[in-house]
């Protein structure tokens, strides 16, 4: 059976490529999803990408992943730093979870230094630009082979 990785992007990431390109780069969300799909396919994995600006929608997708995906790669955007509800939803998901941040959050404002999602994530990538998504998919392929 082909394993599926759900790729979740949170608020404002729909503006990738247009929003603060000096921080987040010039690639669009469509570019990121295409790169991640290609990386997944190279490892025989399917990728199901979603983006939302709404916390409840991200939680609903994580619930859906319990039945339909084997792993989650998530960039929760600013919800990283605020959302106990997303942490709780991820705690109800049994497969591996990797957290991605395009920017190096530790080099930025102190409110970005704490992540609720990191309490659940099996690994965190920050500051690798959009390449971080590809690296996360590659790591996920390793984790899924083990499991
Ligand atoms: C981000 C970092 C967050 O602090 C910020 O709120 C984002 C994007 C990143 O990818 O670097 O929206 O998750």
Residue-level length of the chain = 147
Question: Which residues on adjacent β-strands are paired with residue 51?
Answer: 9
Distance between alpha carbon 134 and the CA centroid of its chain, in Å?
Answer: 11
φ, ψ of residue 94 to 5 degrees: the values are -90, -20
0.95 exceeded by the pTM? yes
83 C-beta closer than 6 A to ligand 1: no
Q: Which domains does the chain have, with CATH numbers?
A: 3-146 (3.40.50.9100)
Ligand 1: atom nearest CA of 10 is: 12
User: What pLDDT does residue 147 have?
Assistant: 62
User: Helix, strand or coil for residue 103?
Assistant: coil
Residue nearest to atom 6 of ligand 1 (CA): 78
Q: pLDDT of 28-44, one tens digit each?
A: 999 999 999 999 999 99
Token pair for residue 13?
A: 């990431």
φ, ψ of residue 115 to 5 degrees: the values are -125, 120
């Amino acid at each position: 059976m082909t394993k599926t990785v759900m790729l979740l992007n949170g608020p404002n990431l729909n503006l990738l490529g247009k929003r603060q390109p000096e921080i987040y780069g010039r690639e669009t969300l469509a570019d990121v999803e295409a790169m991640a799909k290609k990386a997944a396919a190279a490892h025989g994995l399917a990728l199901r990408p979603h983006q939302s600006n709404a916390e409840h929608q991200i939680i609903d997708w994580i619930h859906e992943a319990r039945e339909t995906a084997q792993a989650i790669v998530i960039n929760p955007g600013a919800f990283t730093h605020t959302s106990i509800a997303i942490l709780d939803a991820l705690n109800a998901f049994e497969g591996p979870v990797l957290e991605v941040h395009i920017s190096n959050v530790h080099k930025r404002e102190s409110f970005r230094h704490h992540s609720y999602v990191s309490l659940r994530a099996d690994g965190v990538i920050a500051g690798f630009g959009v390449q971080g998504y590809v690296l996360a998919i590659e790591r996920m392929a390793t984790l899924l082979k083990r499991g």
